[in-house]
Amino acid sequence: MAELSVRSGVAPPTIRYYLREGLLFPGELTSPNQARYDDSHVRRLRLVRALLDIGGLSVDAAKGVISAMAAKSGDEFAVLGQVQYGLTPPARSDAPPPPAARARVDRIISERGWRVREHNPSRLALAEAIGTLEDLGRHELLAGLDRYADAADALAEQEVDELLAITGEDARAEAIIAADVVGDALLSALRRLAQESAVAARLAR
């Protein structure tokens, strides 16, 4: 346990908490008070930290993702879906998005020829975002939605190419988690840096 803590950078009480919550699988018992942990435990701890720290997931949401990983249905499309849906932030607003926003989501999906299941929770997340832009009167962003969709499409093509080149269901699930949870954080930070730079460049002219 002490060694696992040093290798993973996670404090022993936190590791014990993850064990109790099922976020980490038990080590091999070598005596009633000793367990052996290996690289797979270090790797899992890093994944859990990524979900909680970078993704900001609740412990319950992280448990959902970890159990989706463990489900191993064998159907690649289903595994991607289970893990990815668990990474989609739940609707935060009490009110459902307005029907016009949902209709706009359907239109974007059909215009782009995207093949997306009806129960993909990102449909609702996108409708919430669009409904908020409408409420805020941000017509410039609504008019430019295609640019965001183009960027998403280009990044997704590459991400999925890389994903399907990875072998092993656990490794693939880890790659989805990294691409989605850490990818969101990457894009968020890079956009803010690029925005500041673009403003500085405009004002310098």
Which 112-131 residues touch a copy of itself, going by CB under 8 A?
A: 112-117, 120, 122-123, 125-126, 128-130
Near a copy of itself by CB under 8 A: residue from 3, 38, 76, 106: 76
Q: Is the dihedral of CA 181, 182, 184, 189 positive or negative?
A: positive
Site residues for a copy of itself, window 158-187 (CB under 8 A)?
158-160, 162-166, 174-175, 178-180, 182-187
SS3 54: helix
Site residues for a copy of itself, window 88-117 (CB under 8 A)?
88-89, 92-93, 95, 109, 112-117
C-alpha separations of 174 from 26, 61, 76, 94 in Å:
19, 15, 14, 31
Q: What is the DSSP letter of 182?
A: I
Near a copy of itself by CB under 8 A: residue from 84, 86, 101, 173: 84
Q: How far is the CB of 193 from a copy of itself (least distance, A)?
A: 5
Of 126, 131, 95, 121, the closest CA to residue 108 belongs to 126
Near a copy of itself by CB under 8 A: residue from 59, 141, 169, 170: 141
C-alpha separations of 171 from 44, 165, 174, 176 in Å:
11, 11, 5, 9
Site residues for a copy of itself, window 23-42 (CB under 8 A)?
none
By CB under 8 A, residue 190 contacts a copy of itself: yes
By CB under 8 A, residue 193 contacts a copy of itself: yes
Of 103, 110, 112, the closest CA to residue 131 belongs to 103
